[in-house]
Amino acid sequence: MAHQERQILDRVTDEIRTEHELSRSDWERLRSVFGDRFDKAWRLVQEKRIKRYYFRPSKRIVWVAVGRSGEYRIFPTAGYCGCDDFYFRVIDGEEGVCYHLLAQRLAEVLSSYEDVNEEDDAFLLLAAEWRKWTQPHED
């Protein structure tokens, strides 16, 4: 099931890239496959609680999801999120993605995220803050 979830998400995000919008049928497909996780992810996208940090001059990009209990660093290329749901359900193969990863993918293809521009000097300070949220806790 986990692999199937990731495949469906890949297909839908490819369609969004082509059509430049989330169609009703794709919305329903995501809702049917991901259920409550889609609802939570969609709320993050609508509320622009996905942030893309752009650091200068290095051009480093860092994605962060603002959850109810903190900010979680997301590594989209690796398919990793620092939240408990990822640790307990995705790593165990119960789910393909946590709702933060789902939200990041949707936010990126829909260009619906908060853009944060920072100097490279701020990266270490922000990274230390994000690491605090990788400790197990409720979200």
Q: What is the pLDDT of residues 91-130, one digit of tens each?
A: 998 999 999 999 999 999 999 999 999 999 998 888 888 7
User: Residue 116: enclosing H or E segment and its boundaries?
Assistant: strand 114-119
DSSP 88: I
Rounded CA-CA distance 27/39 in Å is: 10
* Torsion angle defined by CA atoms of residues 76, 77, 81 and 82, in that order, rounded to the nearest 10 degrees: -120
Tell me the pLDDT band of 139, cut-offs 50, 70 and 90.
Answer: very low
11 has pLDDT over 90: yes
Cβ–Cβ contacts within 10 Å for residue 43, how many?
12
Which of 91, 67, 68 minimizes the C-alpha distance to 79?
Answer: 91
- CA atoms within a 13 Å half-sphere pointing along the CA-CB vector of 28: 3
- pLDDT at 136 > cutoff 80: no
Q: How far apart are CA 97 and CA 30, in angstroms?
A: 12
Residue 131: pLDDT band (50, 70, 90) is: confident
